[in-house]
Structure 1
Amino acid sequence: MEHALLFMKRITVITVIFAAFTSYGQRDWEKVEITSEQLSEHIYVLFGSGGNIGLAIGEETAYVIDDQFGPLTDKILAHITSLTDKPVKWVLNTHWHGDHTGGNANMANQGATIIAHENVRKRMAAEQDRGGGRIVEPSPKEALPVITFNDKLTLHLDNGNDMHAMHVNDAHTDGDAYYYFPEDNVIHMGDNFFVGRYPYIDLNSGGDIDGLISNISMTLGIIDDKTKIIPGHGPVASKKELEDYLGVIKQLRTLVKNARKAGNTLEQTQQLGLSKPWDATHGQGFINAERIIEFIYKSADD
């Protein structure tokens, strides 16, 4: 009986993963609406389907952080045009996943230069195993970043302000980067921050829970109570919300590590209900209780 239940459990998990992976091809892109929110004189965030887009408007050009999915490029550019007449000349990626880089080729073909951490280019240029039987083929040449950095990079925007690109510790992936606008007091954290959801630690892309905790702690050290935080997914957030997010992750990490140290297998640890206090607020999305326990169990240091 136990074997049968375990088999059914695994089939259910595989089905959920498959559904998530195949949803891209089933989406009705015509129904996606691009909206925006102004965060400062020069900075906006755009919402649609996929990762949140950062938009910095300069005197002569516009700078975009992430570009969601390819079928949405025309809608995204049309919305940007409603905010500024400056052309998009620079596109920066927070990491390699397709819901953040899917529009790269389209943006490049209309004249933008793509910038990202060097591991973003490496992963996009080669076949990637996303797990659950899903293989991602290499991206076309046009989609690849043509300028890469290994630690940090500063863009001196043509409005007189700066954008600091910072490669952070392996967390969501091994190519994560933050983009920080000190004069505007805005930071784009990419998928190191999911508002109202457990984090996604992409183990197949070098993700690591300890790196995530370190990155969030570092962020809290450089922002203040007035900083506008653009998360990878979800609404614009504050320092207090990021502090609360870190608290949940750290508590879960401690609980899972203690269970693992006590000799529990992954499956046994998942059955302990360790995440129950936060499942209603954080575990209703793509990353459920079982998956966050797995991420922590497999990547947390001893």
Structure 2
Amino acid sequence: MHKLFSSVIMAIFLCLTNVVLAEDHNADKKMFKVTELKPGFQFLQGKGGNILLSAGKDGLLIVDSDYSEMTPALQEVLAQHKSYLKYVLNTHWHGDHTQGNKVLGKNAEIIAHDNVYQRLNSRQEVKLFNMVSKPYPAHALPDITFDHSLTLRFNDETIKALHLPNGHTDGDSIIFFEKANIVHMGDHFFNGMFPFVDVGTNGSVRGVVKNINGILDKIADDTIVVPGHGAISNKQQLIAFKDMLVGTINEVEVMMTQQMNLKAIQEKGLSEQWKVWGQGFLNEKVWIGIVHSSLTKDAVKN
């Protein structure tokens, strides 16, 4: 299964009004902001999804791989450790978390949920962003896949990947580093901002809430929480994010039961307490549209 080491989507958000990436100041320079979390662990913020790096006696491991255009900058960060990249763990299939596979996968082994393999191996579309993803080359696909969970022992650490069904997508995983007390949430957590939930690939806003509740039972108050987007975080901020989801979903649902259509709900808007969440990644109207789409799909299923 091991590959020999030989060398150490387009930005999908450009078409949305008032959509900004928290990492734009780094992306323009094609650089990563690197934060030391603990000995052997670094938090990397680039253009796409946040990366967690583990460095130790067994080599290097990263969770997610950002956009293709960020790969040279990522390789520079990895090269500073004077070691080799052995594993890439993908939290889900979206390009801002997986495009780096196309270079890094030539030497490192890629690990992800079964559905990530299926989606990267076929044409995908995210209509909200007018984004089409073509099938990835074979070397960029996961080498090791799992259904419910996977345990990896690496760098004196027990690393557990746990599948979260029908949340942000249908192939999401969160990654626990048990000894270090760090969890990478992938895009089940957009710190301080409204999230994107990919209803088109079986994501569900209610599913995200359910999955987060399950994770909150597994982590401690002092656990370092790595979000898919946004600043490094903790359990309390994850709870605040979950509470925002519950509150805004409930508000949209109430308006839907009052027979208000999407346009009317967007015009009325959400309660004042949620306004601050629309100043980051997605604006309020886009988030309302995602919630409306997800709840409508749930109603059809039921």
Band of TM-score, shorter chain: 0.7 to 0.9
> CA-to-partner distance for each residue in 1:21-70, whole Å, 9 max, x for gaps?
xx9xxx99671221211222232211111111011123121111111111
In the TM superposition, what are the counterparts of 1:135-146 in structure 2 within 5 Å?
135-146=132-143
Q: Match for 1:69 among 67, 70, 75?
A: 67
> CA-to-partner distance for each residue in 1:141-162, whole Å, 9 max, x for gaps?
22111111111000011x3221
Give 1:103's aligned amino acid: G
**Using a 3 Å threshold, how does the CA distance of structure 1 residues 64 and 15 change in structure 2: closer, same or farther?**
closer
CA distance in structure 1 between the aligned counterparts of 2:14 and 2:101, rounded to whole angstroms: 30
Larger Rg: 1
Secondary structure at the aligned position of 2:253 is classed as helix
Checking the alignment, whether the CA contact within 8 Å between 1:275 and 1:289 is kept in structure 2 is no
Which piece of structure 1 moves more, 131-140 or 210-219?
A: 131-140
User: Match for residue 218 of structure 2?
Assistant: 222
Secondary structure at the aligned position of 2:188 is classed as strand
**2:85 is the alignment partner of 1:88:** yes
- TM-score, scaled to structure 2: 0.87
Q: Could you tell me how far 1:81 is from its partner in structure 2?
A: 2.5
Checking the alignment, whether the CA contact within 8 Å between 2:169 and 2:203 is kept in structure 1 is yes
CA distance in structure 2 between the aligned counterparts of 1:151 and 1:60, rounded to whole angstroms: 25
Q: Could you tell me how far 1:116 is from its partner in structure 2?
A: 0.5
User: Match for residue 191 of structure 2?
Assistant: 195
Checking the alignment, whether the CA contact within 8 Å between 1:167 and 1:177 is kept in structure 2 is yes
Which ranges of structure 1 fall in alignment gaps of 5 or more residues? 1-13
Secondary structure at the aligned position of 1:269 is classed as helix
Give 1:34's aligned amino acid: F
Checking the alignment, whether the CA contact within 8 Å between 1:42 and 1:184 is kept in structure 2 is no
Q: Match for 1:299 among 291, 294, 301?
A: 294
Q: Could you tell me how far 1:86 is from its partner in structure 2?
A: 2.2
Give 2:253's aligned amino acid: K
User: Match for residue 5 of structure 2?
Assistant: none
CA distance in structure 2 between the aligned counterparts of 1:232 and 1:283, rounded to whole angstroms: 17
Give 1:104's aligned amino acid: N
Higher percent of residues as helix: 1
CA distance in structure 2 between the aligned counterparts of 1:248 and 1:16, rounded to whole angstroms: 25
Checking the alignment, whether the CA contact within 8 Å between 1:66 and 1:92 is kept in structure 2 is yes
Give 1:173's aligned amino acid: T
User: Match for residue 4 of structure 2?
Assistant: none
User: Match for residue 57 of structure 1?
Assistant: 55
User: Match for residue 98 of structure 1?
Assistant: 95
Secondary structure at the aligned position of 2:69 is classed as helix
Checking the alignment, whether the CA contact within 8 Å between 2:18 and 2:283 is kept in structure 1 is no
User: Root-mean-square deviation (CA), in Å?
Assistant: 2.3
Q: Could you tell me how far 1:262 is from its partner in structure 2?
A: 1.6
CA distance in structure 1 between the aligned counterparts of 2:57 and 2:94, rounded to whole angstroms: 30
**2:153 is the alignment partner of 1:156:** yes
- TM-score, scaled to structure 1: 0.87
Quick one: percent identity of the two aligned structures?
34
Higher relative contact order (Cα pairs below 8 Å, separated by 6+ residues): 2
